[in-house]
Structure 1
Amino acid sequence: MPKTITKNIRISLLLIATMGVMSGITVVSSLPLISQTFHHIPNIEFLSKLMLTIPSIIIALFAPFAGIIVDRFGRLKPLYTGIILFVAGGSSGFYLHDFYAILAGRAILGIAVALLMTSSTALIGDYFDEKGRHKFMSVQGMAVAIGGILFITSGGFLAELHWSYPFAMYILPLFFLPLVVSSLYEPEKHHPLEHEIKIESNLWPVYLTAYFAMVLFYMMPTQLPYLIIETLHGEPSTIGFVIAVAMFFNALTSRQYARLKARFSYRQIYIITFIFFGTGLFIISQAGSIAQLFYSTVFIGTGFGLILVNTNSWFLAKVPAHKRGKASGVLASSFFLGQFSSPLLFEPIVKYYGIQGLFLIVSGIAVTIALGLFLKGKLSGR
C-alpha cells in the first residue's frame, strides 16, 4: 500500500458501495404503484419491472467500456462523473411524470453505476492487500446491507405517500461528495508482470458465477413485491420491511466473512450460500401469509450476505493489478446482465406456475447447484 488507508478513505469507499444497492432497491416498493398509475400502458406490470432492470442492462453493456476508461484515465475522474450522473439520472423519477422519460433516467443511472462500480472496485484492489481486502469487504458487505435496510424501508414509507417520492433519495450522494473528493487519492499506475498475464485468463469462472448468482438472487426485488401486494394483500411498506429484515441478516453474515474465509474455501462458501438461499426460497414458496415470509429472511439474508462479498473477494484475488479497471467492468457487466436477465428468464415460469411456483422451482435449482459444487470438490479432492 503506497499510502496509509485513513478512516476517511474507508468511509468514502463504504458510502460509494451503498450507492450500488441504492440504485435498485430504493424504488422496489413503488413498482406496484407505478403499475397502477400508468395502467393505461399495455403490459405495464411487466414494463414496471424494467425500472429495476433497465439500469442493469445499461451497466452490463457499458461497464466493460467503463473499465477501459478507468484503466486509461485513472480511477477518480470516472468515479466523480459517476456520482454526478447517479444523482441526475436516479432522481429523475421524482420530477418527471412520463413513464418512458423515467425509464430514460434509469438508463443514465445505469451508466453512472457502471462508472462507480468499476472505479471503486479497482480502488479497493489498489489500496488493500489480500488480507486487508477480506477484512474491508466484510465491513463493506455489512455497510451495503445496512444501507439496503435504510433505503428499502425509507422507500417503502415514501411510496405510501406518493410513488415518485423514493426517487428523491438519489440526491443523497451530493452530501458526501465533498468527503469523497477530499479523501480518495489516485493510485500509481500498475505495469503487467509476466505471471499476471496467465492469471487474467482464469477470470471467466468468476464472471459466469457472478451472472448466474444474480439471475437467481435478483428474483427477490423483482418478484417478491407482487407476491406481497397481489397474493398476500400487503402494503408497500410491508415490501420494504420484509426485505429490510433479510438485509439485517445480510449485514450480520457479511461482517463475519473474513472469519469464514479463514476457515473455508471460496467453493465451500458458495455451497453454504446456495443451501441457505434455496431453503429461504422454499419457505417463500409455501407461505400463506405475510408473517410466514419472515421465516425465510434469515436464510435469504445469510445467502445474500455471502454471495457478493465472496465473489468480489475471489475476483480481486485473481485479477492482475494492471487490469483491475477493465476486469472490474466485466465483473460489473456479469452481475448486472444477470439482474436484467432475471425477470425475462423467469416471466414464462411465472405465467405458467405463478410467483410461488417460481420460488419453489428456483429453490430446487439453488440446492442442486450446492450439491454440484460439493460433488465437484470431492472429485477434485478439495
Structure 2
Amino acid sequence: MSKKIEISLLLIATMGVMSGITIVASLPLISKTFSEIPNIEFLSKMMLTIPSIIIAISAPIAGILVDKYGRLKPLYAGMALFVIGGSSGFYLDNFYYILMGRAILGISVALLMTSSTALIGDYFDEEQRHRFMSMQGMSIAIGGIVFITMGGLLAEWDWSYPFVVYALPILFIPLMIGALYEPKVHKHTQTESSMDGSLLSVYITAFFSMVLFYMLPTQLPYLIINSMHGDPKTIGFVISIAMVFNAITARQYSRLKRRFSYMQIYIFTFAIFSIGLFIISQADGISQLFYSTLFIGMGFGLIFVNTNSWFLSKVPPQKRGKASGVLASSFFLGQFSSPLIFQPIVDRYGIQGLFLIISIVAISLSIVLLIKDLKIDKHQRRESE
C-alpha cells in the first residue's frame, strides 16, 4: 500500500483529536472575554463538547452519505466544513456564532470519521489493517500532544489564535488528492439493526469513561487559571504530559492482558485514576498538578483500550459494524454530557471538591469490582475442585 495513502489517512485521524482539545487552553479566556453573557463559564465548556453531540447524532447520516455517494465526496466536504467551522473562533467575534461553528465542526468530523474508516476497510486487508491501526493509535496520541501544546502557546497571545490551527488541514488536501482514490468496490455488509443486550455493559462503561476523561479538558483549565493563577501554556503542558503517559501505557496493554482479565485491569485502572484525582483535589499549586499526570495518564491509557478490547471480545462479527457505531455514539455522548453532569457539583463544592468526590467514587468502584472478581475467582476454584 502506498505510503502517501497511509500518511493521508493518518493525518485525517489526527483531525479527530484536533477537533476536541486544541482550544482547551482558551476556554477560561473565552469566558472572561464574553463575561457579560449569563452562565458563560458553563457555555464556554459547551464549546468543547457540542461537536461531540453533533457527531453522535450525525454519524449515522454521514454513513448513509458515504454509502450513497462514495468515500471521497463526503471526505472532502468534511475537510471543507472542518476548516470553516473549526476556525470560526478566529474570524468571528460573536460567541453564539462561534458556537454554531463548533456544531459545523461536529458535522465535519462525522463525515471524516465515517469516510476514512470506510477507506481503511477498502484499502487494507486484515493483516495490513492491524498494522495501520497501530500506527493510527500512536498518531492520535502524538497529535493530541502537539495540538494541546500548540493551542496553549497560541492562547498566550490571544484566546482566538488557537482556532487558526483548524485551518492546517488545507495543507493536507494536495497530498490527499494525489494519494486517495475512490475504491471500485465498497466492502459493506448488512448487519442487524437491533442492539445486542449483552453489549449494554460495554456501552455504559464507554459512556462513563468519557464522562470521566472529559473532566480533564473541561474542568482543569478553570482550576489552573482561576484558582492557581496559571496561564494557558501551563494548561497545555499539564494535559500534554498526561497524554504522554496515556500513550506509553496504552502500548503496554497487550502485555497486561496476557496476565490479567478485563475486570482486573478495570480494578487497577480505577484505583490509579482515583489517586490522580485525589492529588488534584488536594493541590495548592500548579507544580503539584504534574504529579497527578502520571496516574491520570496511565488510567486513561488503559481504560479506553480495555473497553475497546472487551467490546471486540463480546460482539459477533456479523454485528460488528452496527455495534461499533453504537460504541462511538456512547463515547461522544459521554464527552457532551461531562460538563452537564458535573456542573451542579462544581457550583456547590468547587472544582477541587468535584475531583475529590469523583476520586472517592473511582476507588469505591475499584473496591466493588475487586470484591466481585474475588467472588468469581472463589466460585471458579470451587467448581474446579
* Residue equivalent to 1:148: 144
Question: Any residues of structure 2 matched to 1:65-76 within 5 Å, and which?
Answer: 65-70=61-66, 74-76=70-72
Q: Which deviations, in whole Å up to 9, do the C-alpha atoms of 1:23-81 show, x marking residues without a partner?
A: 11100111111111111111111111111011122122222333444455555443333
Indicate conservation of the 8 Å contact 1:85/1:108, yes or no: yes
Distance 1:9 1:236, change over 3 A: same
Indicate conservation of the 8 Å contact 2:70/2:182, yes or no: no
* Residue equivalent to 1:43: 39
Q: Report whether the alignment pairs 1:222 with 2:218.
A: yes
* Residue equivalent to 1:170: 166
Q: 1:283 aligns with which of 232, 257, 279?
A: 279
* Residue equivalent to 1:305: 301
**Comparing 12-21 with 280-289, which one deviates more in the overlay?**
12-21
Q: 1:20 aligns with which of 11, 16, 19?
A: 16
Indicate conservation of the 8 Å contact 1:190/1:322, yes or no: no
Indicate conservation of the 8 Å contact 1:67/1:327, yes or no: no
* Residue equivalent to 2:28: 32
**Comparing 243-252 with 9-18, which one deviates more in the overlay?**
9-18
Distance 1:260 1:15, change over 3 A: farther
Q: State the one-letter code of the partner of 1:364.
A: I
Question: Any residues of structure 2 matched to 1:1-382 within 5 Å, and which?
Answer: 5-70=1-66, 74-124=70-120, 127=124, 129=126, 136-181=132-177, 182-183=179-180, 186=183, 188-191=186-189, 202-316=198-312, 326-381=322-377
* Helix, strand or coil at the partner of 2:35: coil
Structure 1: which 5+ residue stretches go unaligned?
none
Q: State the one-letter code of the partner of 1:94.
A: F
Q: State the one-letter code of the partner of 1:189.
A: K
* Helix, strand or coil at the partner of 2:187: coil
Q: 1:331, CA displacement in angstroms?
A: 2.4
Q: 1:360, CA displacement in angstroms?
A: 0.9
In structure 1, C-alpha distance between the alignment counterparts of 2:129 and 2:332, rounded to whole Å? 23
Distance 1:203 1:116, change over 3 A: farther
Q: 1:299, CA displacement in angstroms?
A: 1.0
Distance 1:69 1:267, change over 3 A: farther
Q: State the one-letter code of the partner of 1:219.
A: M
Q: 1:332, CA displacement in angstroms?
A: 2.4
Distance 1:76 1:245, change over 3 A: same
Q: State the one-letter code of the partner of 1:272.
A: F
How many residue pairs match? The answer is: 375
In structure 2, C-alpha distance between the alignment counterparts of 1:91 and 1:125, rounded to whole Å? 30
Q: 1:262, CA displacement in angstroms?
A: 4.3
In structure 2, C-alpha distance between the alignment counterparts of 1:370 and 1:9, rounded to whole Å? 43
* Helix, strand or coil at the partner of 2:156: helix
Q: State the one-letter code of the partner of 2:170.
A: L
**Structure number, greater radius of gyration:** 2
Q: Which deviations, in whole Å up to 9, do the C-alpha atoms of 1:69-98 show, x marking residues without a partner?
A: 445555544333322221111011111111
Distance 1:82 1:178, change over 3 A: same
In structure 1, C-alpha distance between the alignment counterparts of 2:65 and 2:319, rounded to whole Å? 11
Distance 1:14 1:30, change over 3 A: same
Indicate conservation of the 8 Å contact 1:67/1:119, yes or no: yes
Indicate conservation of the 8 Å contact 1:117/1:328, yes or no: no
In structure 1, C-alpha distance between the alignment counterparts of 2:169 and 2:318, rounded to whole Å? 29
Q: So what's the TM-score if we normalise by structure 1?
A: 0.87
Q: State the one-letter code of the partner of 1:149.
A: I
In structure 1, C-alpha distance between the alignment counterparts of 2:316 and 2:200, rounded to whole Å? 13
Q: Name the structure, 1 or 2, with higher relative contact order (CA <8 Å, separation 6+).
A: 1
In structure 1, C-alpha distance between the alignment counterparts of 2:318 and 2:172, rounded to whole Å? 29
In structure 2, C-alpha distance between the alignment counterparts of 1:307 and 1:76, rounded to whole Å? 33
* Helix, strand or coil at the partner of 1:172: helix
* Helix, strand or coil at the partner of 1:210: helix
Q: State the one-letter code of the partner of 1:118.
A: T
In structure 2, C-alpha distance between the alignment counterparts of 1:164 and 1:140, rounded to whole Å? 29
Q: 1:267, CA displacement in angstroms?
A: 3.5
Distance 1:175 1:319, change over 3 A: farther
